Amino acid sequence: MAIQRTSTDRARDIRVEQVRLVFRNMRSSLYLGSALAFLLTLILLEPENQTILLGWLAAVVASRILCVSYASIALKRGIDADNTDQHIRHMCLIKILEGAAWGSLVWIVIGQASLAEQLLTLASLAGVSGNAVSLLAPVFPFYLSMQLSQLASMSSKLLIMDDRSFVVLAMGCTLYLVGQVGQALMAQRASRETLMLRFENLELIERLQIESERAESARGRAEEANLAKSKFLAAASHDLRQPVHAQELFLEVLARSELSPVQSKILSNARAASQASAQMLNTLLDFSRIEAGVVEPQRKAFRLQPLLHKLENELGSLADAKNLVYRCRETAFAVDSDPSLLELMLRNLITNAIRYTHTGGLLIGCRKRGAQVQIEIVDTGIGIAPDQTRAIFREFHQLGNPERDRLKGLGLGLAITEGLANSLGHRISLISQVGRGSTFRLHVPLAQGMLIEEVFKPSPDTSPLYSKRLQGLRVLIVEDDMIVRQGMIDLLENWGCECRTAESISEAEEQVTTWSVQALISDYRLRENQTGAQVISHVREVLGRPVPALIITGDTAPARLRDARSSGIPLLHKPVSPSQLYRSLISIVEASSTPPASEQLEPTGTTASPENRA
């Protein structure tokens, strides 16, 4: 976690960094200052001043070497807040010696050498002073120590000269130093501001890194929680689907027996309860399909009005039961979308509107907006608060249902609708006011080109004639759940099939080697990590022919949905209604070259292809 720095701490950090900065730059000044001293010595060297001038040179070079050596050792050992003041004091003493050494040149030259040599000396010392501004200004005491020492050494010589012009020169040197001090203070301030900005940037980067780590950690926890939730839902859904699936099979067998009126009524209620359970489980399945990414839109160009008419016919009775007005405006628009997925999205939106509207009604209409059609579902319901307009699209989120009334659904409808809209590239928007109602808008591209007519035909009769259609068909049932297995046997034998069962690949192989199987129905997830796809593939390999097969699965885990779908075998999801199972079995048998033993396949209406969209 980042430590909050006080203004005192920040000032201390800046001071430490200024000392480090000056110390690092001193190495380059060693060569420049020494070169200038050597050059002046060569120019000013005369026999009469040789000894004293060489002594001056030695003093200047020695002070420079001492200065650089001390800085290098300090940098090597480390400069921190605890020893900064000590380093400043030591370096100030060194700079006093260096300034005095440079200033002592005036004692050797002024009044002794030629005018040109005197001017050269003063100009060189002014250059040394100017260079000190850029080198030492970040730590002002360094600069001031050297310059005051140098000025004192120079002025003491100038003031004792008999010529008053030298006194004026001493005053000029003082004024020059005052000007240089102003420049040094400005340079120090600029250095401090630069370092301040640098530290603020570093702190900002550190905070950003901390926030990024926190966000990454939160995202990781959210992904783990979401994965755990998905695994729990998949496991719970699978375990619930097994008994509900078996219940559907047994209830169908019971319905085909002779019952009294009272028993028929009880059976009807039991089937209604079973279908309600199946509907909730199928809602979970729709959500799992979207999470698994196995929904592949089949886009078509079709007219909207047949779909809106179908939904009005099917859902209008729900509005009538609540004394709501259900209105749907006629439209001539055609759209480019997946008919089945668009129907599911609109069904969810309209069902929601009816569910949360208690007086008034709802209106479904379409508007053209550029190259899109805006399908609107307007209701006079309870409305949605602004802080809930995004939350309602989260899974399992419901308004006004703390008791989790199953009649109000699972809270997945809008999550499914948004997921399907994203997969289709559509956009969904919402305008709502609490107590006044809501308007959901689904933005769908206008159709281009030829239209597909009669996309939404009336559903065929879903009560097929079970007698004789599958009479004598030899079916191998691969299922490791005893109750589900028995339910499948009872139902298929009631349809006239001959059934045998297996629980694994090895048992299936034993059956098909001694019995001529004509169709195979397998659960997807079997014991010992075996799958129905593996069983079917092995049986086909043993027999050397493509035996008609169905996979029935209770899994909703995204990974297993993808695996099951990739097998290419028709896939049904538990709980499977008997009529759906019957039509699917008829479909795969008629599509193959292996008819039932009785050869009695009477045409009794249109059969539907098995659902193979995982």
DSSP-assigned states of every residue in 46-70: -GGGHHHHHHHHHHHHHHHHHHHHH
Q: What is the CA radius of gyration of the chain?
A: 46
Mean pLDDT of the region 344-368: 89
With contact defined as beta carbons under 8 Å apart, do 304 and 333 qualify? Answer: yes
Q: Identify the pLDDT of residue 376.
A: 93
Q: Identify the pLDDT of residue 610.
A: 35
Q: Is the pLDDT of residue 369 over 50?
A: yes
With contact defined as beta carbons under 8 Å apart, do 27 and 65 qualify? Answer: no
Q: Identify the pLDDT of residue 464.
A: 46
Q: Identify the pLDDT of residue 490.
A: 87
- Helices 261-292 and 558-566, interaxial angle, to 10°? 90
Model pTM score: 0.44
**Per-residue exposure over 423-456, b if at least 16 CB sit within 10 Å of its own CB, e if not:** bbebebeeebeeeebbebbbbbbebeeeeeeebb
419 band by pLDDT with thresholds 50, 70 and 90: confident
Give the highest mean pLDDT range of 255-259, 422-426, 558-562. Answer: 422-426
- Taking all residues of the chain, what is their mean pLDDT, rounded to a whole number? 79
Say how far apart CA 280 and CA 406 lie, in whole Å. 9
Question: Side by side, which strands form the sheet with 361-369?
Answer: 325-328, 361-369, 372-379, 437-445, 427-433
Say how far apart CA 499 and CA 21 lie, in whole Å. 90
For the chain, helix, strand, coil in percent to 5 are 60, 10, 25
Higher pLDDT, 304 or 239: 304
Does residue 519 come out as left (phi exceeding 0), alpha (psi in the -120 to 50 range) or beta? beta
Q: Are strands 498-502 and 549-553 parallel, antiparallel or unpaired?
A: unpaired
Q: Identify the pLDDT of residue 276.
A: 55
DSSP string for residues in 337-393 = E-HHHHHHHHHHHHHHHHHT--SSEEEEEEEEETTEEEEEEEE-SS---GGGTTGGG
With contact defined as beta carbons under 8 Å apart, do 64 and 135 qualify? Answer: no
Q: pLDDT tens digits, residue range 3-42? A: 556 777 778 888 888 888 888 888 777 788 888 889 988 8
Say how far apart CA 388 and CA 395 lie, in whole Å. 13
Q: pLDDT tens digits, residue range 492-506? A: 888 889 999 999 999
Tell me phi and psi for residue 7, to 5 degrees: -65, -35
- Weakest-pLDDT range from 31-40, 374-383, 510-519, 566-575: 566-575
Q: pLDDT tens digits, residue range 539-564? A: 999 999 899 999 888 776 666 667 76
Q: pLDDT tens digits, residue range 282-323? A: 555 555 555 555 556 778 889 889 889 888 888 888 888 899
Q: Identify the pLDDT of residue 602.
A: 36
Q: Identify the pLDDT of residue 367.
A: 92
Q: Identify the pLDDT of residue 404.
A: 40
Say how far apart CA 514 and CA 527 lie, in whole Å. 23
Q: Is the pLDDT of residue 599 over 60?
A: no
Mean pLDDT of the region 244-272: 73
Q: Identify the pLDDT of residue 288.
A: 58
Closest by Cα among 146, 39, 140 to 103: 146
Checking 194-203 for CB contacts under 8 A at 24+ apart, the result is: 195/14, 195/17, 195/18, 196/10, 196/14, 199/5, 199/10, 199/13, 199/14, 203/2, 203/5
Q: Identify the pLDDT of residue 477.
A: 93
**What's the maximum distance between 2 C-alpha atoms anywhere in the chain?**
143
Of the chain, the percentage scoring pLDDT greater than 90 comes to: 15
Tell me phi and psi for residue 13, to 5 degrees: -65, -40
Cα torsion 551, 552, 558, 559: sign: negative
Q: Is the pLDDT of residue 91 over 60?
A: yes
**What residues contact residue 51 under an 8 Å CB cut-off, 6+ apart?**
none
Q: pLDDT tens digits, residue range 160-170? A: 887 788 888 88
Q: pLDDT tens digits, residue range 54-75? A: 999 999 899 989 988 998 998 8
Mean pLDDT of the region 510-526: 90
What DSSP designation does 450 have?
P
Cα torsion 22, 24, 28, 32: sign: positive
Q: pLDDT tens digits, residue range 94-107? A: 989 988 998 888 89
Of the chain, the percentage scoring pLDDT greater than 70 comes to: 80
- Weakest-pLDDT range from 398-402, 539-543, 571-575: 398-402
Angle at 388 between CA 435 and CA 556, to 5 degrees: 120
Element (DSSP H or E) covering residue 301: strand 300-303
Mean pLDDT of the region 510-524: 91
Say how far apart CA 325 and CA 61 lie, in whole Å. 102
Mean pLDDT of the region 261-275: 70
Q: pLDDT tens digits, residue range 117-136? A: 888 888 888 888 888 888 88
Q: How far is CA 505 from the centre of its chain?
A: 42
Q: In Å, what is the CA distance from 613 to each residue of 278, 293, 340, 565?
A: 18, 11, 11, 7
Q: pLDDT tens digits, residue range 429-479? A: 888 888 888 999 999 999 887 777 666 655 444 444 455 778 889 999 999
